[in-house]
A and B are shown apart, each in its own frame.
Chain A
Amino acid sequence: MKKEYSKEMLAEICEKFPEVSIKIHSPRRVYMRISRDKVYDFAKFLFEEKQLRLSIATGIDTRDGMEIIYHFTLDEVGTYYNIKTVIPKDDLKIKSLTPFLPAANWIEREIHELLGVDFIGHPNLKPLLTAEAWHADLQPLRRDYADEHKEIKIDKKTGGLA
Chain B
Amino acid sequence: MRRVVPIGPYHPLQEEPEFFKLIVEGEKVVDLEINIGYNHRGHEFISPTLTWDQVPFLVERICGICSDSHPYAYVLAVEDCAHVTPPPRSQYIRTIIGELERIHSHYLWLGLAGHFIGYNTVWMWVWRYREPLLDLFELIMGNRNHYAINKIGGARRDIRKEDFPKIEKYLDLLEEKNAMFTKAILDDPVIRARLEDVGVLSKEDAIAYAVTGPTARGSGYAIDVRKDDPYDAYDKVDWNEIVFEEGDVLAKAKVRLLECDESIKIVRQCLKNMPEGSIETRVDEIPPGEGIGRHEAPRGEVFHYVRSNGSNMPVRHKVRAPSFMNIASNVVAVRGYSIADAALVLASVDPCYCCTERTFVYQSGKKKYSGQDLLKLSWEKTEKLKRRYKK
Chain A residues proximal to chain B, CB less than 8 Å: 3, 25-26, 28-29, 31, 51, 53-56, 58, 60, 69, 71, 75-80, 82, 101-103, 105-107, 114, 127-131, 140-141
Contacts and interface: CB of A to CB of B under 8 A. Distances in A.
Contacts of B210: 53-55, 103
A58 B318 contact: yes
Nearest to B211: A103
Contacts of B303: 55-56, 71
Interface string B203-238: 000011110000000000001010011100000000
Nearest to A82: B292
Interface residues of B, number: 33
B301 A55 contact: yes
A13 B247 CA distance: 34
Counting from the closest, the 5 A-B pairs by CB-CB distance are: A78-B229, A103-B210, A78-B228, A56-B320, A58-B318
Secondary structure at the B interface, as helix, strand, loop or mixed, is mixed
Contacts of A105: 328
Nearest to B222: A75
Nearest to B45: A140
Contact of A106 (B44, B208, B307, B324): B324
Nearest to B307: A60
8 contacts: A26-B83, A55-B320, A56-B318, A79-B229, A102-B328, A103-B209, A130-B37, A141-B45
The CB with the most chain B CB atoms within 10 A, among A31, A51, A56, A82, is that of A56
B40 interface: yes
B229 A28 contact: yes
Given A3-B230, A53-B210, 4 more contacts: A3-B229, A31-B290, A54-B210, A80-B292
B261 interface: no
Contacts of B230: 3, 78
Contacts of B375: none
Contacts of A3: 228-230
Per DSSP, chain A at the interface is mixed
Contacts, number: 76
A47 to B, nearest CB: 9
A76 B223 CA distance: 9
B325 interface: yes
B143 to A, nearest CB: 29
B277 interface: no
Contacts of A107: 324
A130 B36 CA distance: 9
Given A25-B290, A76-B228, A141-B44, A58 B316 contact: yes
B80 interface: yes
Contacts of B315: 60
A82 B316 CA distance: 16
Given A28-B229, A53-B207, A129-B36, A71 B292 contact: yes
B365 interface: no
B37 A131 contact: yes
Given A60-B316, A71-B292, A53 B209 contact: no
Contacts of A60: 307, 315-316
B40 A130 contact: yes
B109 interface: no
B72 interface: no
B305 interface: yes
B189 interface: no
Interface string B124-165: 000000000000000000000000000000000000000000
Contacts of B325: 103
A28 B303 CA distance: 14
A34 to B, nearest CB: 17
Nearest to B319: A56
A131 B17 CA distance: 13
Contacts of B291: 29
